[in-house]
Structure 1
Amino acid sequence: METDELQQTEESRERSFEWWHHSHPTFAGITGFFAGMLFVTALPGAFVGILRLLFDYDTAEQLFPLILIALVLPITMLVKRKTRRFAQFMFVGMLVTALVVLGVTSLVLYFMVDA
């Protein structure tokens, strides 16, 4: 009887993660989009923070363009068929986030200069 209860517990634990379907049509879209948002916002910030911890300001400023090496990851994901859908949505998230940031920045600068 104890083994039956243990088996039922394991089955219920497996069922609790049934919503986490990796093959679900929206899984790649949602995770890819938000990964693209983080790629545009958090990755450069973290990279600058690490550079500033390791180097002085001038050296960190010179090394910042190395962040472009990180673009190898989504481009590589576009090549492989299994990760292509995720990478497409990741690029959409990167593009939308960059457009929103640039749009808000331009509006703020416009109102600051105009005022």
Structure 2
Amino acid sequence: METDQAEQHEVAGDRHFEWWHHSHPTFAGITGFFAGMLFVTALPGAFIGILRLLFSYETASALFPLVLIALALPISMLVKRKTRRFAQFMFVGMLVTALATLGVASLVLYFMVDA
């Protein structure tokens, strides 16, 4: 009796995530794009935060360019066919986020200097 209820609970739990289609055509695109956005925004901030906790300000500033080693992950995902689509959209998300950030920063700087 208890095993039947446990099996029914497992089946109901599986149905709960039916919307989560890993094979859906847009799944890799959407998740890759937002992963790229997080990669550009959160990763450098977290990296410098951890460096600043562990080292002095000068040492952390000198070690910050090592964050570029993290680019090995999306580049290596481009090699394998199964992760290539995700990595392509991840690079698109990284590029769009970087361009938007630089564009907004340049406009803010322009208005601050012009005023």
If the length of structure 2 is used for normalisation, what is the TM-score?
Answer: 0.95
Task: Note the alpha carbon deviations across 1:69-101, whole angstroms, 9 max, x for none.
Answer: 000000000000010010000000000000000
Give matches, 1:1-115, under 5 Å: 2-115=2-115
Q: What is the one-letter code of the residue matched to 1:84?
A: R
Q: Number of residue pairs matched? A: 115
Percentage of matched positions with identical amino acids = 83
Q: Partner letter of residue 89 of structure 2?
A: F
Deviation by residue 1:44-77 (Cα, 9 ceiling, x = unmatched)? 0000000101110111111011000000000000
Structure 1 stretches of 5 or more lacking a match?
A: none
In structure 2, how many angstroms separate the alpha carbons of the residues matched to 1:9 and 1:45? 41
Give the Cα–Cα distance (whole angstroms) in 1 for the partners of residues 69 and 3 of structure 2.
52
Q: SS of the counterpart of 1:25?
A: coil
Tell me, what secondary structure is at the counterpart of 2:113? helix
In the superposition, relative to structure 1, how do residues 2 and 109 fare at CA in structure 2: closer, same or farther (>3 Å)? same
Distance 2:58 2:9 in 1: 58
SS in 2 for 1:83: helix
- RMSD across aligned C-alpha pairs, in angstroms? 1.0
Displaced runs of 4 or more, over 3 A: 1-6
